[in-house]
Chain A
Amino acid sequence: MRTSRRFGPLAVHALLISYTIIALFPILLIIFNSFKSRKAIFKSPLSLPDANTFDLVGFEKVLGSSSFDVYFLNSISVTVMSLAFVLVLGAMAAWALAEYDFPGSDFVALFLAIGIMIPIRLGSVSLLKIIVSLGLINTLTALVLVYTAQGLPLAIFILREFIAQIPNDLKEAARCDGVSEYRIFWSIILPLIRPALATVAVFTMIPVWNDLWFPLILAPGEDTATVTLGIQQFIGQYVTDWNAVLASLTLAIVPILVLYLIFSRQLIRGLTAGAVK
């Protein structure tokens, strides 16, 4: 392989390593400093915690004075419930659109695709009204319903492409044996589209977990706060307590980083596969 002199492999690695440092350094700086005493945070912010500077006072403060466990539980419930609805209902709709020929199917597909480009946030004024009239204000149910509506368009779009590629033989063979359409969907189609479901799951999860807007307007109560909202309010209150602020940020960052490192291959495959289409 001829590599140009201007862009030798060493130079390429140097550039990529520099950018990787730019991307990671701020995050690592916060995590390291959250394990240090207040004095060390200010005196030597760039050094790693050692035996002298190691201090968990920030974490004690956060876990003692805020309901971090509640926030986590709320975020997990909302994310898991929304994810389940988006995957199951999305796969069902995608199957219906890909498999059955019915009058208006193109219209329904287009109708469902609008939500890919138009942000659901813009409907917030009416959405709040609807949630209030349903008596769902300050409930996690409200968030689950909104996030399900938000996640469905892209899920249906991706899954429909995927289902359309499934060969007809399998389905036809099952139909000849008199298997019902529901069984075909549940026992044949769903297992076949597992890779696409994983991709959709990642795309659905991240914006739901990270969202601030809907928790802020639909469920701002202490009992229903998600991690993103909880941390926003906690830091607002404890803005001068550096140990607590750094510790709360670390508590919010680390679980996501661990999950990300476990699932990154899946996520990146999904991102790149999606764009290829």
Chain B
Amino acid sequence: MASQSNKGSPFKTHLFVFLLPAVLIYSAFMIVPLIDTLRLSFYSIETDGTASFTGWSNYVTIFTDERWSADFVNALKNNFLFFLIHMLVQNPIGIFLAALLSLPRLKLKNTYRTLIFMPTMLSVVIIGFIWQLILSPIWGVGDTLVGFIGISDGLPPLLGEESTTLLTLSLISVWQFVGIPMMLIYAALLNVPDDLVDAAIVDGANQWTAFWRIKLPLILPTVAMVSVLTFVANFNAFDLIYAVKGALAGPNFSSDIMGTLFYRTFFGFQLQPGNPSMGATVASLMFLVILCGVMIYLYAIQRRLRRYQL
């Protein structure tokens, strides 16, 4: 796309004027902090503020110190569960809704799309409080609602018990963000040529088999993209757990994920003082986890799936 007239003069002031402000702000507030955080994970910061290089010792502490490793493994495990529930519930529902919306000659499809996407627009904090109120045994509106579908015992304290809190929070997050896979997959489905589906229908297939046999295989690259976006978002999540359960991610850390562990490590909680270098270490480990997810997507999935792309 380079235009011919720009070749020739070796130093182009306008190039720098256009490029520099964005590169500077982006570097100063995104890249430098990221790299410096990785660096800090190899330091130990004393109470007087001086940092000393300690090599891998922060990492050794996280993986071998009994208290640290228990917290870390718990948060990592919960975070994978959080991601798994999104993959098993949010993305299939999103694909299903997108498939319904992309049926030919469906009326009101724009209205459905707009309304179903609405919760996605709201802040996670607000969504967290909304569901906290609805599930609250004090209000009892949840009990009334499940009464309609024949459950007369009412709701157990879903956000109060160790066994159900993480699952409930995951489903709240699924409920809020189902609009994103729906939209992205819907857009991909629009791109599948009508001829292909029409030909199958003429041959006697119905919309259902046409979707499974023709459309879904063709949109697999988008499904992979949605999966990696879900992965990055889930391993970066924090707001929902913090809004509903606080930094302690209770009960008894059963809803603790990497984001809340990072916050507690960095800022401290109750009697435990904050620890910037351990915080940096947790952040670096989150970085590694996210990087692994992105790499798997870029190298393995993307390469294998590209063959099917039209």
Residues of A within 8 A of B (CB): 1-7, 9, 12-13, 15-16, 19-20, 22-24, 26-27, 29-30, 41-42, 45-46, 85, 89-90, 92-93, 95-102, 108, 111-112, 114-115, 117-127, 129-130, 145-146, 148-150, 152-153, 156, 164, 168, 171-172, 175, 180-182, 185, 206, 209-213, 217, 227-228, 231-232, 235, 242, 245-246, 249, 252-253, 256-257, 260-261, 264-265, 268, 271-276
Cβ-defined contact, B236 with A232, below 8 A: no
Residues of B close to A118: CB separation below 8 A: 34, 287, 290-291, 294
Q: List 12 A-B contacts (CB under 8 A).
A: A2-B201, A23-B175, A26-B134, A45-B140, A122-B284, A126-B33, A126-B34, A126-B40, A175-B3, A210-B125, A231-B126, A264-B117
Cβ-defined contact, A228 with B123, below 8 A: yes
Q: A45-B140, A119-B290, A271-B187 are in contact. Are A92 and B19 (CB under 8 A)?
A: yes
Interface-facing stretch out of B62-70, B80-88, B101-109, B155-163: B101-109
Q: A96-B15, A96-B18 are in contact. Are A4 and B206 (CB under 8 A)?
A: yes
Chain B min CB distance to A228 (Å): 5
Cβ-defined contact, A123 with B119, below 8 A: no
Residues of B within 8 A of A (CB): 1-3, 5-7, 12, 14-15, 17-19, 21-23, 25-26, 28-34, 36-37, 40, 93, 97, 100-101, 103-108, 110, 112-119, 121-126, 129-131, 133-134, 139-141, 144, 175, 178-179, 183-184, 186-188, 190-191, 201, 206-208, 222, 225, 232, 236, 238-239, 242-243, 259, 262, 266-267, 276, 279-280, 283-284, 286-287, 290-291, 294
Chain A min CB distance to B274 (Å): 10
Cβ-defined contact, B37 with A126, below 8 A: yes
Question: What separation, in Å, do the CA atoms of A145 and B34 have in the docked complex?
Answer: 15
Cβ-defined contact, A95 with B201, below 8 A: no
Q: A99-B3, A276-B190 are in contact. Are A123 and B283 (CB under 8 A)?
A: yes
Question: What separation, in Å, do the CA atoms of A124 and B29 have in the docked complex?
Answer: 10
Question: What separation, in Å, do the CA atoms of A29 and B135 have in the docked complex?
Answer: 12
Cβ-defined contact, B118 with A117, below 8 A: no
Residues of B close to A231: CB separation below 8 A: 125-126, 129
Residues of B close to A19: CB separation below 8 A: 93, 97, 116
Cβ-defined contact, A92 with B100, below 8 A: no
Residues of B close to A126: CB separation below 8 A: 32-34, 36-37, 40, 280
Residues of B close to A152: CB separation below 8 A: 22, 25-26
Q: A126-B32, A145-B29 are in contact. Are A24 and B19 (CB under 8 A)?
A: no
Cβ-defined contact, A20 with B18, below 8 A: no
User: B interface, by DSSP: helix, strand, loop or mixed?
Assistant: helix
Closest to B22 in A: A93
Q: A102-B12, A217-B267 are in contact. Are A15 and B118 (CB under 8 A)?
A: no
Considering residues B12, B183, B242, which has the most beta carbons from chain A within 10 angstroms of its beta carbon? B183
Residues of A close to B1: CB separation below 8 A: 98-99, 164
Q: Which of B21, B32, B106, B133 contacts A245 (CB 8 A)?
A: B133
User: A interface, by DSSP: helix, strand, loop or mixed?
Assistant: helix
Residues of B close to A26: CB separation below 8 A: 119, 130-131, 134, 175
Residues of A close to B12: CB separation below 8 A: 100, 102
Cβ-defined contact, A145 with B21, below 8 A: no
Residues of B close to A127: CB separation below 8 A: 29, 33
Cβ-defined contact, B129 with A253, below 8 A: no
Closest to A12 in B: B100
Q: Which of B108, B122, B206 contacts A256 (CB 8 A)?
A: B122
Question: What separation, in Å, do the CA atoms of A209 and B122 have in the docked complex?
Answer: 9
Closest to B258 in A: A122
Question: What separation, in Å, do the CA atoms of A180 and B13 have in the docked complex?
Answer: 12
Q: Which of B115, B139, B286, B291 contacts A24 (CB 8 A)?
A: B115
Considering residues A124, A152, A156, A265, which has the most beta carbons from chain B within 10 angstroms of its beta carbon? A124
Q: A22-B175, A276-B190 are in contact. Are A172 and B5 (CB under 8 A)?
A: yes
Closest to B201 in A: A2
Considering residues B31, B179, B201, B266, which has the most beta carbons from chain A within 10 angstroms of its beta carbon? B31
Residues of B close to A29: CB separation below 8 A: 134, 141
Closest to A41 in B: B139
Q: Which of A20, A42, A99, A212 contacts B242 (CB 8 A)?
A: A212
Residues of A close to B287: CB separation below 8 A: 118, 122
Q: Which of A96, A98, A210 contacts B122 (CB 8 A)?
A: A210
Residues of B close to A27: CB separation below 8 A: 118-119, 122, 130
Q: A175-B5, A182-B14 are in contact. Are A1 and B266 (CB under 8 A)?
A: no
Q: Which of B129, B178, B291 contacts A235 (CB 8 A)?
A: B129
Question: What separation, in Å, do the CA atoms of A171 and B5 have in the docked complex?
Answer: 10
Residues of B close to A96: CB separation below 8 A: 15, 18-19
